[in-house]
Structure 1
Amino acid sequence: MDIAEIQDAERFYRKHLKEVILPFWIPDCIDQDFGGYLNCYTNAGKELLSYHKFTWSQGRFLWLFSELSMCEDSVFSDEKKSKFLGFAESGADFLRKHVFLNEDKECTYMMDRAGNPMPVEPDSVLSSSIYADFFVAAGFAKYAVAAKDHKMFELAEEMYRNIKKRIEQGKYLTLPYPIPKGLRMHGIPMIFLNLSTEMYVSAAGLGLENETYGQDMRLFYTDILTNFVDGDHVLREMITTDNSLVDHYLGEYCNPGHTMEDIWFILKAAGCLGDQSVLPLCSEILKNAYRIGWDKDYGGFRLFVHHEGGIPRGTTAGLEKEPMFRQIEENHDNKLWWPHSEGLYSFLYAYFLSGDEELLTIYKKIFDYTFAVFPNRDSRVGEWIQIRQRDGRPDDKIVALPVKDPYHIIRNLILLIQLLREQQDKAGLKREEEIPCR
């Protein structure tokens, strides 16, 4: 990738972030009356369907606005960054006041507009997914360093310790997809790796000790690469609790989006620790995610695939009632926004680390497909149509949460801009000035 391509790419991503994505969300997502954020929009983005606040998304918005407030001056003006920090403060205050259910800092999964905890179903427990806790803790950690708020980081640390304790004791839930008995799910060490890296970086930004988080980072990515990656360098989503591969449907499927996202988590964490040893294996895992996940007929990544490629398959006896089984069966052919957003960053990041031209070639294919398919063709609305059918037509359905969530898009656009600016710095080039938002 030559310097002209790098500059063009950075210019494109900056413009897309500022002129297509952010205007959709700002200021409408900010709940001026109650605090926190609103995002229960239709997939096309034309209608707000509910004022319910899913904790998962509230923590993600907090992270995003905190990160946006720390972008370089040449990306956003001081005035804009101050507004972003104010938006983050709204979310931090809302969550701190309303999200916790007990002294152990367990989070509710969902709240009403005013912040009152509410169950998803009448008979369901309030703390129904530990993923909500992960995202709140990451949001608090990011806000702490953005606002230089040591008390907030102490709260993130308390949450981190309690999450770790619950994971070790097995006292947690993972709505909407419970982990079947006898199995481990890749999502747990994956999201814990992300959180421990967030804690590590934020602690360093606040001048605090972060060795414990560094130890956890290495533990989590070693677990993933050792136990969840098979002999063909394909990352499986479920293995047994004694770290063996599973020869049934749920043990044989893969999630290319999770693979691509987790690979850059691993590369980031290893880079923080000065560990270059994981790069060759991570590059092979990425290539295999493309090999088995890319739709050769229509382009784009299928949501779920068999570990050898193609439609998920395998023995299903006794699995038919598992929510994850139904999720795979009903949605495997869909093309979702977030795997493509993660693929853009993961492949380009691994390319710049390794110099492997094959990774760059795949990145360019992902780029061409993503920006031909996902951005909303109605420029008056903006953002992306987040769910597509296999052939690229919009699909108005719910996958996981009934929200429209900008987390993957904005996070990866920020990371792509940072990555491309770093390459220009290495070449000794002067950066362009800010492109104003419309």
Structure 2
Amino acid sequence: MTSSTVAQYTALYRDNLLNDVLPFWQRFSPDREHGGFFTCLDRTGEVYDTDKFIWLQARQVWTFSMLYNRVGSLFPDQKADWLGMAQLGADFLQKHGRAEDGSWYFSTTRDGKPLVQPYNIFSDCFATMAFGQLSLATGRDEYAHLAESTFRQILARRDNPKGAWNKAVSGTRPLKNFALPMILCNLALEIEPLLDKPLVEQTIDECIHEVMTVFFDPDLGLIRENVTPDGRMSDSFEGRLLNPGHAIEAMWFSMDLAVRRGDRALVDKAVQITLDTLTYAWDTDFGGILYFMDASGHPPQQLEWDQKLWWVHVETLISLLKGYQLTGNQACWEWFERVHAYTWSHFPDPINGEWFGYLNRRGEVLLPLKGGKWKGCYHVPRGLYQCWQVLENLQNL
């Protein structure tokens, strides 16, 4: 690694964020008639479906609020538009996003009529993040209250996130999923200024234990996506499931928590899990990271198991850079350059801007969309921002 190499990477991640990805969403996603954002955008930015998915609305509010808060002062010509974008989404969410009990719907029509019940607690998670960041940007107490109250509802639902919409028969094969404790690791830090310190510390303690002890299988050296309520392995499709992207994303959340607490052992464990997961999940035939795997080597249940997804690669880049920054482990840098080369040669669209989301195993574009039901203005800009910041820090060492 040379200083000139780091400087080139820094400029690439920063410029792609500011001059490519954000302008794409600023140009094509705002719904000026009904509020909120269009997320179903084709390769050129044309809207191909007008349904609004609450978690993607909230993610986009968070993205523009976060950038306004953290780097807005560096870009005075852009910060007002960033805040305006966040406000556009927040107004729609406040007006149309919640059910009577305060939980957040999964989706609505373009004009805000509810389509899908609030079965998915991740709508609540990203609403918490969105209004937490927006409260910091605007100083408005109503946003802070909305973030805090939603966060407390999440904690109340954490043992049965889907509630009445859980399709599994109760008691037959109870399992708990990795995704919620993973997100709570990040969520607690996101809205820490709005919470009592004991609640923050308790949530962090519980999340670190869940992620690093309950879901981590020391025999595999990997994170399982589902375990029994007492943390054991279930010999079933769900119990054998590995989700490398989730595991690696959780590791940079854990590194952030470790830095906050001065816990070097947690840093080292998170870095090792990142490297072990990446070694396990890297496609040695075609390159890139496999989407799903079976821990016992059986055929995965998910038919899309061998696809290469944008968010998996973006989150891996963040974890590798943070791991290198915190430990100097050369394997992190070597893997970063390898994953970077694959990612930047396959996902960004040099013609129309933004990034493709879905590749087949050979690395060919499978779906030419830039946004849809699952991909929005979140993982790519967050990843570009995070990598830019870490690389800039490395450059200044």
State the TM-score, normalized to the length of structure 2: 0.92
Q: 350-359 vs 215-224, which deviates more?
A: 215-224
Find the aligned partners of 1:291 and 1:51 in 2 and give their Cα distance. Answer: 40
Please name the residue that 1:191 is paired with.
Answer: 183
**C-alpha deviation, 1:251, in angstroms:** 1.4
174 and 389 in structure 1: CA distance in 2 versus 1, 3 angstrom threshold:
farther
**C-alpha deviation, 1:178, in angstroms:** 11
Choose from 134, 139, 144 the match for 2:130: 139
**C-alpha deviation, 1:280, in angstroms:** 1.7
DSSP 3-state at the match of 2:34: coil
Q: 180-189 vs 295-304, which deviates more?
A: 180-189
422 and 155 in structure 1: CA distance in 2 versus 1, 3 angstrom threshold:
same
DSSP 3-state at the match of 1:20: helix
**C-alpha deviation, 1:394, in angstroms:** 1.1
Please name the residue that 2:283 is paired with.
Answer: 295
Choose from 266, 274, 279 the match for 2:267: 279
Unaligned segments of structure 2, at least 5 residues: none
Unaligned segments of structure 1, at least 5 residues: 120-125, 314-324, 428-438
Q: Does 1:8 align with 2:8?
A: yes
1:105 partner letter: G
367 and 360 in structure 1: CA distance in 2 versus 1, 3 angstrom threshold:
same
301 and 14 in structure 1: CA distance in 2 versus 1, 3 angstrom threshold:
same
**C-alpha deviation, 1:184, in angstroms:** 0.8
Choose from 355, 366, 371 the match for 1:384: 355
**C-alpha deviation, 1:283, in angstroms:** 1.4
Find the aligned partners of 1:174 and 1:369 in 2 and give their Cα distance. Answer: 39
Choose from 130, 149, 152 the match for 1:161: 152
1:271-303 CA distances to partner (integer Å, 9 max, x unpaired)?
Answer: 223322211211111111111110001100010
Please name the residue that 2:109 is paired with.
Answer: 112
DSSP 3-state at the match of 1:27: helix
2:10 partner letter: E
State the TM-score, normalized to the length of structure 1: 0.84
Please name the residue that 2:315 is paired with.
Answer: 342
Choose from 220, 229, 232 the match for 1:241: 229
**C-alpha deviation, 1:10, in angstroms:** 0.9
DSSP 3-state at the match of 1:288: helix
**C-alpha deviation, 1:3, in angstroms:** 2.6
CA contact (8 A) 2:357 2:367 kept: no
DSSP 3-state at the match of 2:176: strand
Find the aligned partners of 1:16 and 1:175 in 2 and give their Cα distance. Answer: 40
1:173-218 CA distances to partner (integer Å, 9 max, x unpaired)?
Answer: 7899999941111112111222112111x43xxxx74342132112
2:379 partner letter: H
Find the aligned partners of 2:30 and 2:161 in 1 and give their Cα distance. Answer: 36
Please name the residue that 2:249 is paired with.
Answer: 261
Q: 400-409 vs 410-419, which deviates more?
A: 400-409
Q: 259-268 vs 416-425, which deviates more?
A: 416-425
Larger relative helix fraction: 2
2:38 partner letter: L
DSSP 3-state at the match of 1:278: helix
Please name the residue that 1:53 is paired with.
Answer: 52
Aligned-pair identity in percent equals 30
Find the aligned partners of 1:401 and 1:46 in 2 and give their Cα distance. Answer: 11
228 and 397 in structure 1: CA distance in 2 versus 1, 3 angstrom threshold:
farther
DSSP 3-state at the match of 2:320: helix
Q: Does 1:405 align with 2:376?
A: yes
Q: Does 1:417 align with 2:388?
A: yes
Q: Does 1:128 align with 2:119?
A: yes
Find the aligned partners of 2:108 and 2:335 in 1 and give their Cα distance. Answer: 41
Find the aligned partners of 1:82 and 1:228 in 2 and give their Cα distance. Answer: 42
CA contact (8 A) 2:28 2:46 kept: no
Choose from 94, 98, 101 the match for 2:99: 101
Find the aligned partners of 1:233 and 1:284 in 2 and give their Cα distance. Answer: 9
30 and 49 in structure 1: CA distance in 2 versus 1, 3 angstrom threshold:
same
Please name the residue that 1:81 is paired with.
Answer: 79
Find the aligned partners of 1:359 and 1:345 in 2 and give their Cα distance. Answer: 10
1:88-130 CA distances to partner (integer Å, 9 max, x unpaired)?
Answer: 111112111211112x4111111111222123xxxxxx11211
Find the aligned partners of 1:191 and 1:403 in 2 and give their Cα distance. Answer: 16
**C-alpha deviation, 1:32, in angstroms:** 1.2
174 and 131 in structure 1: CA distance in 2 versus 1, 3 angstrom threshold:
farther
Find the aligned partners of 1:136 and 1:307 in 2 and give their Cα distance. Answer: 33
DSSP 3-state at the match of 1:138: helix
Choose from 197, 216, 221 the match for 2:203: 216
90 and 406 in structure 1: CA distance in 2 versus 1, 3 angstrom threshold:
closer
Find the aligned partners of 1:145 and 1:25 in 2 and give their Cα distance. Answer: 22
335 and 421 in structure 1: CA distance in 2 versus 1, 3 angstrom threshold:
same
Find the aligned partners of 2:88 and 2:382 in 1 and give their Cα distance. Answer: 19
2:202 partner letter: Q
1:225 partner letter: M
2:154 partner letter: I
Give the total of aligned pairs: 395
DSSP 3-state at the match of 1:118: strand
1:396 partner letter: L
1:165 partner letter: A
66 and 403 in structure 1: CA distance in 2 versus 1, 3 angstrom threshold:
same
287 and 307 in structure 1: CA distance in 2 versus 1, 3 angstrom threshold:
farther
Find the aligned partners of 2:141 and 2:280 in 1 and give their Cα distance. Answer: 45
Find the aligned partners of 1:292 and 1:41 in 2 and give their Cα distance. Answer: 33
**C-alpha deviation, 1:338, in angstroms:** 0.7
Find the aligned partners of 1:162 and 1:333 in 2 and give their Cα distance. Answer: 36
Find the aligned partners of 1:367 and 1:233 in 2 and give their Cα distance. Answer: 24
CA contact (8 A) 2:274 2:320 kept: yes
2:141 partner letter: H
DSSP 3-state at the match of 1:395: strand
